[in-house]
Amino acid sequence: MALAIFEPVERSRKLVAAKSTKAILRLVPELRPVEGEKASDRIFFGLIGSILIVGLLGLLGINILLGNDAVRIRDLKLEAIQLTEEREAALREIAQLSDPANLANQATSFGMVENDRIRFIYLEPNHSKVGD
């Protein structure tokens, strides 16, 4: 007798579960092709292919721009090296021209004479005369 009581409950649970899954599946569109229509993946593969091509072209463009920048950086480094060498050459020339021996030679070539008598003036109060 107890089995007869529980049997309709099990059957009703199965019916409710079957009806509820059918109701949920009815909300999702049918994925199988309708009779008379042929399923085609052309749009999907076309979209994926176009995304792939655009991505590859984008990478190619970025690579070209990076290559151009690398060439420009190399040229700028070479220019910086050249400017550094020119600056060092100018500093060497200035050092050579400002050498005391060279300045003395140039002064004598301009007609200047060397002072033989050097005199000092003492400004302290205990030295009252001009000395040698």
Write the DSSP assignment of 15-78 as a string of letters. HHHHHHHHHHHHHSPP-SPPTT-----HHHHHHHHHHHHHHHHHHHHHHHHHHHHHHHHHHHHH
pLDDT at 116: 83
120 inside domain = no
128 inside domain = no
Q: Which residue segment(s) compose the domain that 75 sits in?
A: 58-112
Is residue 131 within 8 Å of 118, Cβ to Cβ? no
Ramachandran angles phi, psi of 53, nearest 5°: -65, -45
State yes or no: pLDDT of 29 exceeds 90.
Answer: no
pLDDT at 51: 96
119 inside domain = no
pTM of the model: 0.42
83 inside domain = yes
Which has the minimum average pLDDT: 4-18, 33-47, 114-128?
4-18
Is residue 123 within 8 Å of 112, Cβ to Cβ? no
19 inside domain = no
Q: How far is CA 26 from CA 21, 23, 100, in A?
A: 9, 5, 104
pLDDT at 60: 96
> Percentage of the chain surpassing pLDDT 90?
35
84 inside domain = yes
| Interatomic CA distance for residues 19 and 131, integer angstroms | 129
6 inside domain = no
> Percentage of the chain surpassing pLDDT 70?
69
State the total domains in the chain: 1
pLDDT in tens, 94-103: 999 889 888 8
pLDDT in tens, 31-63: 666 666 665 778 888 889 999 999 999 999 999
104 inside domain = yes
